Structure 1
Amino acid sequence: MGCGNRSTKLARNFCSKNLQQILKQEVQKVNEWWATPRFRNIQRTYTAEDVVKHRGSLPVQASQYLSSYQAQKLFQLLDEKFKSKSPVHTLGVIDPVQMSQLARCKDIRVAYVSGWACSSTLVGSTNEVSPDFGDYPYDTVPNQVERIFKAQQMHDRKLHLARLQQKGKAAADETDYLKPIIADADMGHGGVTTVMKVAKLFAEKGAAGIHLEDQLVGGKKCGHLSGAVIVPTSTHVSRLIATRFQWDLMGTENLAIARTDSCNAGLISSSTDPRDHQYIKGVIKPYTTAWSEQLVDLERESTVANRHILGDAETEWYAQNETMTFDEAVERQLSGNEYQAYHRMKAERMQQQKRNYLSLLEMKAIASMAAPNKEVIFDWDKPRTMEGHYMYHGCMEAAIQRSQIFAPYSDMLWLETKIPDQLQARSFADRIHEQYPEAKLVYNLSPSFNWSAHGYTPDSLQSFIWDIARYGFVLQLVSLAGVHVDGLSFWQLAKKFQETGMRAYVDQVQKIEKVENCDLLTHQKWSGVEYVDSLTKVVQNGSSAHTSSTGGDSFTESQF
């Protein structure tokens, strides 16, 4: 069929003779979109033409993603709060019930869905619960987001109808059930194409924003566990670019948060990126047998009876072979004057190159110039783990450097920390804002911290969120609040119920629900039964009086 015979305008538009003209128009639209304030701080490594060429023939307007609307709402909120140095603080929720209660809190403006919580409570298609190792199906958290987002929409429709039916008879309920959802995308669960699929899923399911951490797929652990493996800086940059590219293809404005776990990391998967070289650790003993070689020999001798031999040997090997960065190796092996000369020449070289890092090869060359008659021994391959990972010196400087590199490709920066330290937070913020003054920061108010053990008074605990918001930590979240509250409240009830039966239920649930004005007291109404009754009346032309769910003696909630 020729171009002239196509029946629709859309089809005619994509005849070959019009393609170049359409391409030019669409490219212009994308460039204009990118020029809006929403993307003023976002850098892309691809062109608008790259985006348009990969979108397909359907116009982007054909797919209206609700998450993009939510993302616009989220961006405006964060922008406003960042400028006023005030926080957007929230609690992690694990189900629609908790979401609905969070929504009723006027000053909590966003919702958060944790990968840890999903991993430990409802792992998708496998029905396996486990620690936060990111080893669940990659649609697990997106599916939980969809579950919560659909619940948000249901409660919003229910409330919208109730407002219209009030007709000014009572004060309108101002609850915003459509609070933007920020979700945990872990490490992206794979290579570039997998990251794009994960980003697409989140946008389709309703997440206004996601965070991606710089950990290794297969080596990922909760940021508050030891043994996590981070990836090269360039690998995580690729993840961020892939995420943005996917959303540009979809025409959405979802937010990408770049999280770094490098402050606490002890391992890195590869030495491929020279920006990481100054933090990779090696040994300085010249004739040490590599741990991986010794391991192979030991595995041949290992049996079930003496399997402890491998763990003991590993502990002994690392105890006898101290690992250190190249700078530390230079300090150990050169004189004080030579070491000072090395540092001076390093600084000069970085200034000449206009960068804040040098590769291992460059650092070795400078050490040779600083001490021409000495050889600095340094081998970062010998201490590599059995999986091939390198030893890594996790520190604040590494986290700052990585975050500065991630900043142009992300909407927010997340520093994962070991303890709730305001001085550390301020130091990080100051360094980031020297280079990127508009960078919005994220802080995990983690329940993994023993908050009572860090010297905070009741007053300083109460002001903590607002204190660090002044440094630019605009988004702050208690990631696993829902998990802990769910466990604690049910434990308290179950413990008493076994002894006092319904007295415990009435005292610890119904009475408190009534006093606290918790809408779960009337759970049928909470679920939306009146809204569904209204739908039924429309369909049955108003003749559903005898089948109404909320009428008659059987409607028990009229007791309250």
Structure 2
Amino acid sequence: MSTILKATRPHLRTHRLPAIRMPSSLPPVSATATVTPPWSLPLDPPSVAAEQSHFTSRVNQLKSFFSLPRFSSLTRPYTPESVVSKQGSVPPLPLQGSLMADKLYGVLERAANEGKPVHTMGAIDPVQMSQMARCGIEVTYVSGWACSSVLTTCDNEVGPDLGDYPYTTVPNQVQRLFKAQLHHDRKHYDERLSSPPEAREKMQYIDYLRPIIADADTGHGGISSVMKLTKLFAEAGAAAIHLEDQLHGGKKCGHLSGKVLAPTSTHTSRLIAARYQLDLMQGSMLLIARTDAESARLVGSSVDGRDGEWVRGVRVKSSGELLGGGRKGLADAIAAAEARGASGPEVDKVEKEWMEANPLCTFHEAVQATIQSSSSIAADAKESTYATYIERATGKTNAEAREIAREVTGEIVGWDWDLPRTREGYYHYTGGIQPAIQRALAYAPYADLVWLETKTPDLAEARDFARQIREKYPGKWLVYNLSPSFNWSAMGFSDVDLKNFIWDLAKEGFVLQLISLAGLHSPAAAMAELAGRYKTDGMLAYVELVQRKEKELGCDVLTHQKWSGANYIDRILSTVSSGSSSTSAIGTDSTEHQF
């Protein structure tokens, strides 16, 4: 750990917090002066000149922070001055989470340089966290799905992953695991340092301080909510969080249907806001931008021109009438059916009939259909005419594409994206790898890593995504979800393919890979097996399936009192009370001496 921190956190040595001293003035602060908390505050208001001098010193220090190699691939659309002026008189305190963030950066950097993956699993409790650490898993992942389904705090109402749980839930789980990491690190450190060197040489060294990567969903609200949530994660000890580009309020698990995307600009603002919050705290937590555009079918708004290419509408006549007849939009048709007292199945029928009468298409597809049906364009020129249109219109806003279409075809292309909007006002969207790539490219300047969420584990698709992203942003780190939602056995993989999948992805830049819900499924399978056998075999089932297996694997939870820290706390109590062996919690009567 010390080697990584030395290499990746140079500001611990060169970037110091400003001193706030002097009774009536604030002198300039040396950029290299070492300050030991707590800091003293002025007893009297400083002069304007002293105040400005102190502000300038802090700005210069933040500029040094911004210029660290750690941030070389990131864009900040704001100034150091705008950050320092919002920090207040008391400088930001060092965050333990930043130590973990810098360690994570070092772990990822080393793996990326070697073309290897950092692969991990979701943990739902300190037991899983500690066993992953003992076995050398380099980072810990906290899933929002798992928190929603089994760990919801505040009201303890568990349920599916719709992003509707209290926004403190996942930060609380991060804090729980981070505090457990610190506890196990302390007991392990004490155990090692309490042992003679010769014994220590034979003792397994366990690094419990594994950086925690956590699920921040959509940010749980607007910009201010995103900033508050980011602050909670940083204070809780998170090393990284990921934010996905779904619409808040329309959030679904990445592997459920009905996902609604936020406009590209909205999610970009979330990433900028999260970084700004971290800069206010002078924290180095990593940000992961996730896009769900590959499998999304709805988008909340057409306000961002970059999204227009993928929005689906319906063809209309020059009069504005639908090709299928009438002028009533889908939402109006449904509202009219409900107003006359239609039942649920009848409303579904109205929607189905409307959609069948008015097939959805993108504007590009509408242009292609217009060219094919045009009598003014020669048959042998239709293909080249459409190719000309695509060449000019790709990447343009819908308004620009409409004008290009008019110039190329000689007529106004009848197409409307408002008529098929859902009752909630959402637009229909064409998901796929290309819109996902477009969004990932938009997010990349503001994120440390980019995550493509997919509906199937597809190496060829992942390779295409990675190469297009890294063509524009060389060396950009990528993330892949090795999800338990995939039926891996039904995907046609051989055992060799399954074994190599992670390492094949790593070659394409997917440096971080995770089985998001391993912590949910693995204890479920183990408990199902144990419960089934325990009914008939009693203690034989427990001994064979648990106790003997723990011993065989060297699992330290076998001696659960020691694992929980009983020996460590006993040594503390003996130190402060000079207690005798008769009051020791780990004395001769402890049942753990049986092992």
TM-score range, shorter chain: over 0.9
- In structure 2, the residue matched to 1:393 is 430
- In structure 1, the residue matched to 2:552 is 515
Residue identity in the other structure for 1:154 = H
1:296 aligns with 2:335: yes
Distance in 1 separating the partners of 2:337 and 2:417 = 21
**In the TM superposition, what whole-angstrom CA distance separates every residue of 1:494-527 from its partner, at most 9, and x where no partner exists?**
1111112111111111111111111111100000
Distance in 1 separating the partners of 2:126 and 2:341 = 51
- In structure 1, the residue matched to 2:119 is 89
1:271 aligns with 2:302: yes
- Shift of the alpha carbon at 1:173? 2.2
1:358 aligns with 2:373: no
Distance in 1 separating the partners of 2:276 and 2:335 = 43
**In the TM superposition, what whole-angstrom CA distance separates every residue of 1:208-234 from its partner, at most 9, and x where no partner exists?**
000000001110101111100000000
Residues 219 and 228 in structure 1, CA contact (< 8 A), matched pair in contact too: yes
Residues 70-85 of structure 1: matches in 2 within 5 Å? 70-85=100-115
CA root-mean-square deviation:
1.6
Residues 25 and 46 in structure 2, CA contact (< 8 A), matched pair in contact too: no
Residue identity in the other structure for 2:331 = S
Counting matched residue pairs gives 544
- In structure 1, the residue matched to 2:133 is 103
Distance in 2 separating the partners of 1:103 and 1:484 = 19
Residues 188 and 198 in structure 1, CA contact (< 8 A), matched pair in contact too: yes
Cα separation, partners in 2 of 1:381 and 1:339, compared to 1, 3 Å: farther
2:388 corresponds to which of 344, 352, 365: 344
Distance in 2 separating the partners of 1:360 and 1:342 = 16
User: Identity of counterpart residues, as a percentage?
Assistant: 48
2:587 corresponds to which of 542, 548, 551: 551
Distance in 2 separating the partners of 1:232 and 1:339 = 32
1:23 aligns with 2:55: yes
Distance in 1 separating the partners of 2:556 and 2:400 = 65
Q: State which drifts further: 424-433 or 339-348.
A: 339-348
Residues 24 and 42 in structure 2, CA contact (< 8 A), matched pair in contact too: no
1:448 corresponds to which of 485, 509, 525: 485
Distance in 2 separating the partners of 1:130 and 1:73 = 34
Distance in 2 separating the partners of 1:94 and 1:312 = 43
Residues 134 and 207 in structure 2, CA contact (< 8 A), matched pair in contact too: yes
Distance in 2 separating the partners of 1:220 and 1:321 = 27
Q: 3-state DSSP class of the match of 1:375?
A: coil
**In the TM superposition, what whole-angstrom CA distance separates every residue of 1:384-404 from its partner, at most 9, and x where no partner exists?**
000000000011110111101
Cα separation, partners in 2 of 1:248 and 1:14, compared to 1, 3 Å: farther
1:371 aligns with 2:409: yes
Residues 291 and 382 in structure 1, CA contact (< 8 A), matched pair in contact too: yes
Distance in 2 separating the partners of 1:544 and 1:341 = 93
Residues 293 and 435 in structure 2, CA contact (< 8 A), matched pair in contact too: yes
Residue identity in the other structure for 1:81 = A
Residues 82 and 472 in structure 1, CA contact (< 8 A), matched pair in contact too: yes
**In the TM superposition, what whole-angstrom CA distance separates every residue of 1:438-476 from its partner, at most 9, and x where no partner exists?**
210000000111111111111111111011100000000
1:235 aligns with 2:269: no
Distance in 1 separating the partners of 2:356 and 2:289 = 35
Residues 291 and 384 in structure 1, CA contact (< 8 A), matched pair in contact too: yes
Cα separation, partners in 2 of 1:42 and 1:5, compared to 1, 3 Å: closer
- In structure 1, the residue matched to 2:215 is 184
Residue identity in the other structure for 1:514 = K
- Shift of the alpha carbon at 1:4? 5.2
**In the TM superposition, what whole-angstrom CA distance separates every residue of 1:56-97 from its partner, at most 9, and x where no partner exists?**
10012xx22111000000001111111211000001111111
Residue identity in the other structure for 2:263 = P
Distance in 2 separating the partners of 1:399 and 1:548 = 60
- In structure 1, the residue matched to 2:461 is 424
Q: 3-state DSSP class of the match of 1:441?
A: strand
**In the TM superposition, what whole-angstrom CA distance separates every residue of 1:141-169 from its partner, at most 9, and x where no partner exists?**
00001111100010000000000011123
1:166 corresponds to which of 177, 185, 195: 195
- In structure 2, the residue matched to 1:483 is 520
- In structure 2, the residue matched to 1:353 is none
Q: Give unmatched runs, 5+ long, in structure 2.
A: 1-21, 27-38, 323-327, 373-378
When normalised by structure 1's length, the TM-score is 0.95
- In structure 1, the residue matched to 2:537 is 500
**In the TM superposition, what whole-angstrom CA distance separates every residue of 1:285-328 from its partner, at most 9, and x where no partner exists?**
4423201111111111226xx33211221122212211010000
Q: 3-state DSSP class of the match of 1:334?
A: helix
Residues 25 and 42 in structure 2, CA contact (< 8 A), matched pair in contact too: yes
- In structure 1, the residue matched to 2:147 is 118
Residues 25 and 51 in structure 2, CA contact (< 8 A), matched pair in contact too: no
Distance in 1 separating the partners of 2:400 and 2:82 = 36
Residue identity in the other structure for 2:472 = Q
- Shift of the alpha carbon at 1:43? 0.2
Q: State which drifts further: 316-325 or 528-537.
A: 316-325
When normalised by structure 2's length, the TM-score is 0.89
Distance in 2 separating the partners of 1:343 and 1:150 = 59
2:287 corresponds to which of 240, 243, 256: 256
Residue identity in the other structure for 1:225 = L
Distance in 1 separating the partners of 2:580 and 2:226 = 49
- Shift of the alpha carbon at 1:281? 0.4
Residues 346 and 366 in structure 1, CA contact (< 8 A), matched pair in contact too: no
Distance in 2 separating the partners of 1:285 and 1:131 = 40
- Shift of the alpha carbon at 1:131? 0.6
Distance in 2 separating the partners of 1:22 and 1:314 = 65
Residue identity in the other structure for 2:584 = S
Distance in 1 separating the partners of 2:40 and 2:540 = 69
Q: State which drifts further: 471-480 or 282-291.
A: 282-291
Residues 89 and 475 in structure 1, CA contact (< 8 A), matched pair in contact too: yes
Residues 533-552 of structure 1: matches in 2 within 5 Å? 533-540=570-577, 542-552=578-588
Residues 189 and 195 in structure 1, CA contact (< 8 A), matched pair in contact too: yes
- In structure 2, the residue matched to 1:324 is 361
Distance in 2 separating the partners of 1:511 and 1:404 = 51
Q: Give unmatched runs, 5+ long, in structure 1.
A: 351-355
1:33 aligns with 2:65: yes
1:64 corresponds to which of 84, 94, 100: 94
Residue identity in the other structure for 2:193 = L
1:156 corresponds to which of 177, 185, 199: 185
Residues 524-539 of structure 1: matches in 2 within 5 Å? 524-539=561-576
- Shift of the alpha carbon at 1:376? 1.1
Residues 74 and 180 in structure 1, CA contact (< 8 A), matched pair in contact too: yes
Distance in 1 separating the partners of 2:286 and 2:23 = 42
Distance in 1 separating the partners of 2:384 and 2:580 = 88
Residue identity in the other structure for 2:186 = R
Residues 313 and 361 in structure 2, CA contact (< 8 A), matched pair in contact too: yes
**In the TM superposition, what whole-angstrom CA distance separates every residue of 1:405-449 from its partner, at most 9, and x where no partner exists?**
100000000000111111111111110011000210000000111
Distance in 2 separating the partners of 1:50 and 1:341 = 50
